[in-house]
């Protein structure tokens, strides 16, 4: 059974580069993660860089916080074991600003993945009546510092293109320990292996969008993004050591020290379609395909991941966007996701299903600043075989502040 702390334990973070953070901001999270095609004048779009060019000529600063409460349940030897944990972290920092009426840019810093797991397995040693104990732990993760830009191709056409260049950096540490239970009092000799990889490299994303007007009040939104396959640089260190009663009985043996390798980050494609009515109502669908079967670790070895598909639906509603009454300017959101994860446990594919809701409250003199709260409730895996069922509640709190910066003052 799994144990953990920090950001919140999930045994699935042991696979690949860890558990991925949501791509969108707090507003997107509240509507099922929808964000590939649907822009919003009050919030940044962190999912499709092309949609930066749809923004009004104001500077926007956003900060987001995320928390996750998780319940883990697994059946072991005809008994059910459960554990609960909670973790929280900064979700994103981002600022966007206009270069001219058709061109906008943004810079952002956000976590990309995290690793946090601790799992103990007990198995009988073949040919003996002894038990082998295997203890696996992992921690760390990757962060993403990005510069993005979006451009409107033609002055009177609603066609947009954009790109994002990001620097991925961070480290992941995986450790394992094994011993044969002989004494039963914690004094058995234990073999320990520590593996640490430091990552640092540049990745890219391309985006496009088209927003044709259907009528005076209604707009159709189409969007797509493409993350090409990239090999990111990593330096790896492996250390072996024997311990007894948690004390070393040999000096550490460094099998590899800062050996350079490349991790293959596979291509991803996302597409979305939504319909919008004058900043009052938006509804849409996003789909994504990630070719995780092509993932290779820093040793250029496949880890057995599978291609994955994600689907999201959602909508948001502002009762009267041009009203002067405060309650008419509150935005409400609902959404849902169905994700075919790249994990397979005991021959069974792991799926993730969740529903979400959110609300944004306008602030400030002109009601252009927003505070957003979103909640997501979901489940991953089922109580069958070796699977660990995860039931979780994700909380996202976002602040969006808009103002006209870099405006040259005119003095009479």
- Per residue in 37-75, pLDDT (tens digit) is 999 888 899 999 999 999 888 899 999 999 999 998 888
Could you give the number of structural domains in the chain? Answer: 1
Strand, coil or helix: 400 = strand
Question: What is residue 387's predicted lDDT score, i.e. its pLDDT?
Answer: 80
Please name the residues in contact with 110: beta carbons below 8 A apart, sequence gap of 6 or more: 21, 46, 90, 91, 92, 93, 94, 143, 144, 146
Other beta carbons within 10 Å of 405: 12
User: What is the spatial distance between Cα 116 and Cα 234, in angstroms, rounded to a whole number?
Assistant: 19
Instruction: Provide the residue range defining the domain that includes 184.
Output: 11-63+79-300
Report the range of poorest mean pLDDT among 195-204, 211-220, 358-367.
Answer: 358-367
Rounded mean pLDDT, 378-383: 88
Q: What is the pLDDT of residue 186?
A: 64
Among the residue ranges 135-139, 389-393, 408-412, the one predicted with the least confidence is 408-412
Q: From the CB of residue 207, how many other CB atoms can be counted at a distance below 10 Å?
A: 27
d(CA 95, CA 107) in angstroms, rounded, equals 6
Tell how far CA 312 is from the center of its chain: 14
- Tell me, yes or no, whether 326 lies in a domain: no
Q: Does some domain include residue 375?
A: no
Return the residue matching tokens 């699977």. 387
Q: Which of 36-40, 177-181, 261-265, 363-367 is predicted least confidently?
A: 363-367
Give me the mean pLDDT over the 286-304 stretch: 94
| Spatial contact of 120 and 131, defined as CB atoms under 8 Å apart | no
Residue 150: closest CA among 199, 189, 206:
206
Confidence at residue 279, expressed as pLDDT on a 0 to 100 scale? 84
**Residue 291, class by beta-carbon neighbours within 10 Å (0-12 exposed, 13-18 middle, 19+ buried)?**
middle
Average pLDDT over residues 28-45: 93
pTM attached to this predicted model: 0.89
Q: Do the domain assignments include residue 158?
A: yes
Residue 236, pLDDT above cutoff 70: yes
Instruction: Let me know the angle formed at the C-alpha of 192 by 190 and 197, rounded to the nearest 5 degrees.
Output: 170
Count of beta carbons in the 10 Å neighbourhood of residue 129 = 6
What separation, in Å, do the N-terminal and C-terminal C-alpha atoms of the chain show?
Answer: 73
pLDDT higher than threshold 90 for residue 185: no
pLDDT band per the 50, 70, 90 thresholds, residue 25: very high
pLDDT at 5: 41
What is the pLDDT, as a whole number, of residue 340?
94
- Is 12's pLDDT higher than 50? yes
**Which stretch of DSSP H or E encloses residue 33?**
none
Query: Which 8-state DSSP code applies to residue 302?
Result: B
Residue 6 clears pLDDT 50, i.e. is over it: no
Lowest pLDDT segment from 84-98, 162-176, 193-207, 243-257: 243-257
From 56-65, 165-174, 268-277, 340-349, the region with the lowest mean pLDDT: 340-349
pLDDT interval class at 188 (50, 70, 90): confident
Nearest to 3 by CA among 136, 133, 119, 172: 119
Q: Please state, for a pLDDT cut of 70, what percent of the chain lies above it.
A: 95
Q: Are 149 and 105 in contact (CB under 8 A)?
A: yes
DSSP state of 125: P
Q: Indicate if the pLDDT at residue 76 is higher than 80.
A: no
Would you state the pLDDT for residue 412?
Answer: 47
Would 357 be classed as within a structural domain? no
pLDDT value, residue 408: 52
DSSP, res 16: T
Banded model confidence at residue 263, pLDDT cuts 50, 70, 90: very high
pLDDT at 220 over 70: yes
Model confidence band, residue 409 (pLDDT cutoffs 50, 70, 90)? low
How high is the pLDDT of residue 3? 41
Q: Is residue 372 part of a domain?
A: no
Residue 365 covered by a domain: no
Residue 274, strand partner residues: 221, 284
Tokens linked to 12: 């699935």
Q: What is the pLDDT of residue 256?
A: 86
Q: Is 28 helix (H, G, I), strand (E, B) or coil?
A: helix
* Model pLDDT, residue 78: 76
Question: Does an H or E element contain 325, and which?
Answer: none
Instruction: Give the chain's count of helices (H) and strands (E).
Output: 1, 18
**Per DSSP, what are the bridge partners of residue 116?**
139
Inside any domain, residue 169: yes
DSSP characters over 379-405: EES-SSTT--EEEEEEEEEEEEEEE--
Q: What is the mean pLDDT of residues 374-396?
A: 89
Helix (H) / strand (E) element for 412: namely: none
Tell me the C-alpha distance between 290 and 266, whole Å.
7
Q: Is residue 401 in a domain?
A: no
CA separation for the pair 70, 393 (Å, rounded) = 6
Name the average pLDDT for the chain. 89
pLDDT tens-digit map of 308-337:
999 999 999 999 888 888 899 999 999 999
């Amino acid at each position: 059974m799994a144990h953990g702390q920090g950001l919140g334990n999930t045994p699935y973070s042991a696979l690949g580069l860890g558990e991925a953070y949501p791509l969108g901001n707090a507003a997107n999270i509240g509507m099922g993660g929808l964000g590939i095609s649907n822009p919003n004048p009050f919030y940044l779009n962190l999912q499709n860089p092309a949609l930066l060019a749809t923004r009004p000529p104001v500077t926007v600063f956003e900060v987001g916080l995320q928390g996750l409460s998780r319940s883990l349940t697994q059946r072991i030897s005809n008994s059910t074991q459960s554990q609960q944990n909670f973790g929280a972290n900064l979700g994103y920092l981002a600022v966007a600003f206009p270069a001219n009426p058709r061109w906008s840019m943004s810079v952002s810093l956000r976590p990309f993945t995290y690793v946090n797991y601790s799992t103990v397995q007990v198995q009988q040693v073949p040919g003996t009546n002894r038990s082998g104990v295997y203890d696996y732990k992992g921690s760390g993760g990757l962060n993403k510092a990005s510069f993005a830009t979006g451009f409107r191709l033609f002055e009177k056409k609603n066609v947009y293109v954009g790109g994002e260049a990001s620097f991925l950096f961070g480290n992941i540490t995986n450790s394992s320990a094994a011993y044969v239970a002989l004494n039963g009092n914690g004094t058995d000799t234990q073999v320990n292996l520590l593996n640490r990889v430091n990552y640092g490299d540049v990745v890219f994303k391309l985006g496009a969008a088209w927003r044709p007007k259907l009528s005076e009040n209604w707009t159709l939104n189409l969007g797509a993004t493409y993350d090409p396959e990239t090999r990111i640089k990593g330096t790896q260190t492996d250390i072996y050591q024997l311990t007894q009663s948690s004390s070393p009985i040999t000096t550490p043996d460094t099998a590899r020290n800062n050996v350079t390798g490349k991790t293959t980050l596979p291509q991803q494609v996302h597409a979305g379609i939504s319909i919008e009515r004058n900043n009052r109502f938006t509804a849409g669908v996003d789909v994504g395909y990630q070719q995780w079967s092509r993932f290779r670790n820093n040793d250029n070895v496949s880890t057995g991941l599978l291609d994955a598909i994600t689907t999201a639906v959602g909508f948001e509603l502002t009762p009267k966007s041009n009203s002067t009454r405060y309650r008419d300017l509150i935005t409400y959101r609902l959404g849902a996701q169905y994700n075919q994860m790249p994990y397979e446990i005991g021959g069974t594919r792991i799926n993730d299903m969740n529903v979400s809701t959110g609300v944004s409250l306008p602030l400030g003199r002109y009601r252009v600043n927003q505070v957003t709260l979103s909640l997501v409730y979901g489940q991953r895996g089922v109580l069958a075989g070796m699977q660990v069922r995860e039931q979780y509640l994700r909380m996202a709190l976002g602040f969006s502040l808009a103002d006209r910066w870099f405006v040259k003052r005119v003095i009479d």
